[in-house]
Structure 1
């Protein structure tokens, strides 16, 4: 030992290379959403060879049944300044947009349960991605109906494009709010999911999808107008038919109070019960 102290050899400044740059939380979230979206889209449209057929066949079957009923009840005479079939198609597809949020929320959590082993994946991601995909598919089907109507000589173009689009997106947002709430409550209490599926058909009738609500007695109408779906459908229909007389009491302020409330409640529930949703 000569008393010298061995010090680490200094690395030339040119050799200082930093490791891979860490991605931001938003970049990781986008990657997770894109991967889950592709997984969901392929599973929904490619796994079942009849998947696309049933997406289109369901609303077409409703239209055929309603056209048959119209020949008996004179549907055109019940609606002022709006053709019956386009009026009904708008209501039906708009309702289906909300209904998907109600019925698909719980399935979104269960379908992605294996992915929760990765800490980047949260239960709310599956709900958001599935709702986005459902809305995208329903929008595509709506555009196909509009194109088909135009080819058959029926003018299906909206009189107020901005209002029609904003009404459609508003219904989409309401469906997302319902999906966030139902996904948590239905996962924790399985009976809730069954009750919602049972109420799907009565809710379709009470939302004024196939028959106008204007002709109902006032004492009954004031209760039906508590349903926010009615307000969104009437607003959207008015965007397509400018002279259409909406149901008395239609209010988008009431509609968005419901929508924002459901979105906030759903997100809070996902934060509160995140670990329980993963553990189930």
Structure 2
């Protein structure tokens, strides 16, 4: 019986083995992410609601209007926040994936890159599901959250996912080998939010500030995401999806190279 099991395992192709590993790890991560904490879903929904409420109060205190050019401010803010959270989770969640799954590396079929890829996919799916809940809820409340250019919105959403995935792959190696850098990465979330035009439209800022913000690829893709939802939204000049994809592909390739180069050291950590 044991010999037949060994023969069956040897007859499987490497892709079949990898697919089985990914499926098992995905189910394990999904259960841990959504079921281990009874408030997991609550916090995934409450965090963006709290951010929206706080920033609306701040904006109403500083300015009387609630609109940006070509879009209502509340839907505009929701779209930007959800896009930024997708990027943020893709960047930060994989950082401790290697250390959290050290026990699995005793199996030769499991590589350090596997839990990282699984977390990237899982976080992307969860954030997409949460965003869909916000869209449906917003439409029921009368908010203009219907995408005017759905294909552009989907493409921008996938681009944000890819950008976060590239940084997540890279940081999962760097923060595992140099743990102190993980604290710095976690501290970057709030500054990145302000530097990406999530809260205040880039068009409302001085020209020289806009030019500096255009070095940030997140700002580019958030502008495209908002344009996908609000066809008449006035974006700033100079945004480029190609610029974002150059960053994304570079960090995806660099992260995979780092995983190949330091696979044994990551297993021994």
2:193 counterpart of 1:204: yes
8 Å contact from structure 1 (residues 214, 248) kept in 2:
no
Which of the two has greater helix per residue?
Answer: 2
Partners of 1:86 and 1:75 lie apart in 2 by: 14
- Specify which of 223, 235, 256 is matched with residue 267 of structure 1: 256
Q: Deviations over 1:156-205 (max 9, x none)?
A: 11011110111101100111001000000111111211111111111111
Q: Which moved more, 1:216-225 or 1:198-207?
A: 216-225
Question: Which residue in 1 is equivalent to 2:66?
Answer: 76
Residues 181-260 of structure 1 mapped to structure 2, 5 A cutoff: 181-260=170-249
Q: Which residue of 2 aligns with 1:148?
A: 137
SS in 1 for 2:11: coil
Q: Equivalents in 2 of 1:246, 1:94: separation in Å?
A: 16
- 1:136 pairs with one of 106, 117, 125: 125
Structure 2 residue corresponding to 1:32, chosen from 13, 21, 24: 21
Deviation string 1:4-43 (CA, Å, 9 cap, x unpaired) is: xxxxxxxxxxxxxxx5471111111110000000100111
Give 5+ residue unaligned stretches, structure 1. Answer: 1-18
The answer (yes or no) to whether the contact 2:56–2:74 under 8 Å persists in 1 is yes
3-state secondary structure, aligned to 2:202: coil
Contact 2:112/2:259 (<8 A) preserved = yes
Aligned to 1:46: 35
Return 5+ residue gaps in structure 2 as ranges: 1-6
Q: CA RMSD in A?
A: 1.2
Aligned counterparts of 2:25 and 2:34: Cα–Cα separation in 1 = 14
The separation in 2 between residues aligned to 1:217 and 1:64, in whole angstroms, is 26
Which of the two has higher C-alpha Rg?
Answer: 1
2:81 is the counterpart of 1:92: yes
> 1:69, CA displacement in angstroms?
2.2
1:230-255 deviation line (CA, Å, top 9, x unaligned): 01111111011111111221111111
Deviates further, 100-109 or 268-277: 100-109
Range with greater deviation from structure 2 (214-223 or 238-247)? 214-223
